[in-house]
Amino acid sequence: MTTELPDAVRKLVAEIETEIGESDEAALAAPIEGSIARHGDVRGNGSRSGRVEDAVRDILSEIGEDPARDGLIGTPERVHRMYAELTAGYHVDPDRLVNGAIFPVDYSEMVVVKDVPFYSLCEHHLLPFFGTASVAYIPRGRVIGLSKIPRIVEMYARRLQIQERMTQQIADFLNERLDPQGVGVVVEANHLCAVMRGIRKPGTVMTTSAVLGLFRSRDRTRAEFLDHLARRSPDA
């Protein structure tokens, strides 16, 4: 059964989907499919009926803490809200995100959007990984509005992820929506699962790429993309 998202998450989803200048009322009025409450009942305030909170209390007890002590009483609810925000990307409507912002333009040179910051959650340990995504495509008579590319990154980052899949999803989305001559995506990120636990090596950076069309078949195109990434940004 489809139910409503909590207001805070609906607003976050609307921020990803809509442009500055659109009213909050209009953004929040649209139905959002598949809310976080799809696994349980919803209270009148839009939150889950307590299954997430109960699970957090069980975890606190399992690690030797007292869920009833002063500092932890509100933690289960806070954790629930946090995960709802960090996974809001599941509820973004791709059509509302694009919102018709694909335009016919007689332009066939590379378009590059560099250093888009993102924060995501590793699906293996539910620990954050974060960094930047750089996205390029070569139009085939159509371009997408500039602000849409950071929104696409945000849509896929706010899910349980692995970096490799997120990189490919960004590339596939642009390829399907624009049918360009080629798409290239490079993502660089730090993973707290490699810093806080396991190998415990701070400063380790993971780089992933996805290349489609001319970026895959033509060395010169791929080299041009990498050359753009190596240049310093104007405000660097």
Q: Which residues are catalytic?
A: 122-125, 163, 191, 193
> In Å, what is the CA distance from 148 to each residue of 46, 176, 197?
29, 14, 35
d(C-alpha 163, C-alpha 167), whole Å: 6
- Which secondary structure element, helix H or strand E, spans residue 61, and what is its range? helix 51-62
d(C-alpha 91, C-alpha 130), whole Å: 21
Q: Which residue, 168, 182, 187, 188, is CA-closest to 222?
A: 182
> In Å, what is the CA distance from 23 to each residue of 30, 35, 82?
12, 22, 25
d(C-alpha 43, C-alpha 21), whole Å: 32
